[in-house]
Structure 1
Amino acid sequence: MSNHLRAFSSTLSAVHRGTAFEERSLRILHDNLSMSLRRVGGKSDGGIDLQGWWWVPTNSHSQQSHHTIHGVSSSPPRKRIRVLAQCKDEKKKMAPKYVREMEGVLHRFVADSSWTQQSTTSLNPITKDSIVGLLISSSPFSKATLIRIHSSPIPFCALYLPHRPNKDAEEECESDPNELGSIIFNPALCGSNGPLGGEIEARWEHCPDNINVGRPGLWWNGVRIASWIPDTSVVV
């Protein structure tokens, strides 16, 4: 095989892996975190891989009015928050430059008057405080990256999804048994003044029969919140 063909084949393989990682991320976000996102991609994507809505409970009062089943809450009233995401399927640890890049992307989206006007027809007007940046990585976040995310004034969620040992498996808990995944909210997201109002926390949940395998989940006052997305939701 010529060098040109090898390079072309390598490019196609990288594109395929990236697409597969985005599709897997979409399913996990939908099934576990109440996010209805769609793939964007293309030259005009503005640096965004996925975008859509995050359906979160409105407040603790409404949450308390609902029953729990086996430690999982039934669906309380929800509001939606705009989410813009980047997926990084790389072998090296996630570097701080991706956080800076995402901050710039979010600022540009908020400053884009046409996009903002289109989005304000939703349940909530879009401002820098009501839009969440989501970084999804197949490799761990470096210490410097976590510090940058934590100190950012932009609401951030960082999700580490290790590769599965069997990519065709359809198990509920599907992380690589040799790697622990993780999910992190920064203070700008989960603090009392953030979009989540200081009431929702993220946890990496372990499978009962294998502590090294798990999935992300949302919790409120010690109770897991069931993933919920309206049947008629339109992802834009």
Structure 2
Amino acid sequence: MLSSVHRGAAFERRAMRLLQDNLSMSLNRVGGKSDGGIDLQGWWWLPFAPNAFTEPTHRQRVRVFAQCKAEKKKIGPKYIREMEGVLHRHLNGPSPMVALFISESHFTKEALLRMQSSSIPFFLLHLPLEHKEDIGSMVWNHALSGTNGLLQGKVEARWERSLDYDRVGRPSLWVQNQRAPSWTPEQIELPE
């Protein structure tokens, strides 16, 4: 039986791997008693720029601040409000930013409504315990995905079903009706 600290750290590592492999995010663990409410932070590498599909190094980056909860109970609006409070100090930074909340359990209806009404670009991600290699669901608010939001309506998440009955499927990013392959700078192959 894992302690809650070890379980939380394992969940954070799992989230980082899935986000890098599927959604072009390169995140690092911050976690600990003095993390200021941020468990992970890093970059989301989005293919907005011309030639970003053929030359991944032309991607634009968005700052990501994430909180992870490996709890069995559903996530309520209290956690969303807390995340909003933590992120207000980062709003006027030099780079655009997004709040990412990652949970092992589902979000309540009230949490979803709170996130949708937030003026902070918000992204909720459910990583179910029973499907360790899959993303259960993801929801963005209008401040992130709307035409006047951070992504300017240019990026959408589409669900790709799996033909493998043991798998749920996985999301992928689409820009201008093209599937954007996941890419982060850590995936660059350096010449030998």
Q: TM tier, shorter chain?
A: 0.7 to 0.9
1:220 aligns with 2:186: no
Aligned to 1:22: 12
Q: What is residue 155 of structure 2 aligned with on the other side? A: 200
SS at 2:159's partner residue?
Answer: strand
Q: Tell me the CA shift for residue 193 of structure 1.
A: 2.0
- 1:108-119 correspondence to structure 2 within 5 Å: 108-110=89-91, 116=93
Distance, in Å, in 2 between the alignment partners of 1:110 and 1:66 is 29
Tell me the distance in 2 between the aligned counterparts of 1:232 and 1:224.
18
**1:157 paired to 2:138:** no
**Structure 1: how far apart are the matches of 2:53 and 2:23?**
19
Q: Does 1:32 align with 2:13?
A: no
Matches of 1:44 and 1:84 in 2, distance apart? Answer: 15
When normalised by structure 2's length, the TM-score is 0.87
What does the per-residue CA deviation read over 1:72-94, in whole Å, with 9 as the maximum and x for residues that have no partner?
xx748311110000001111111
- Residues 102-131 of structure 1, C-alpha deviations (whole Å, 9 max, x = no match): 1000002346xxxx4xxxxxxxx23xxx21
Structure 1's consecutive aligned runs of 4 or more residues displaced over 6 angstroms after TM superposition are none
TM-score (norm 1): 0.72
Indicate the residue corresponding to 1:55 in structure 2. 45
Structure 2 residue 3 is matched with structure 1 residue 13: yes
Seen in structure 2, the aligned counterparts of structure 1 residues 106 and 213 have a Cα distance that, compared at 3 Å, is same
The question of whether the paired residues in 2 share the 8 Å contact of 1:185 and 1:201 is answered with no
| Structure 1 residue 213, shift from structure 2 partner | 1.1
d(CA) in 1 for partners of 2:62, 2:53 = 22
Return the letter of the residue paired with 2:165. Answer: N
Matches within 5 A, 1:1-236: 13-59=3-49, 62=50, 66=53, 75=56, 77-110=58-91, 116=93, 125-126=94-95, 130-164=96-130, 174-175=133-134, 181-210=136-165, 213-231=168-186
- Secondary structure at the aligned position of 1:90 is classed as coil
Which runs of 5 or more residues in structure 2 are unaligned? none
Shift of the alpha carbon at 1:214? Answer: 1.9
Shift of the 161–231 alpha-carbon distance from structure 1 to 2, 3 Å rule, reads closer
Structure 1 residue 212 displacement after superposition: 5.7
Contact map agreement 2:28 2:41 (CA 8 A) in 1: yes
CA contact (8 A) 2:76 2:110 kept: yes
User: Does the CA contact (< 8 Å) of 1:182 and 1:203 recur in 2?
Assistant: no
Corresponding position of 1:170 = none
C-alpha root-mean-square deviation of aligned residues, in Å? Answer: 2.5
Give percent identity, aligned residues only: 57
Distance in 1 (alpha carbons) for counterparts of 2:41 and 2:122:
14
Equivalent-residue separation in structure 1 for 2:45 and 2:53 (angstroms) = 17
Distance in 2 of aligned mates of 1:32 and 1:66: 15
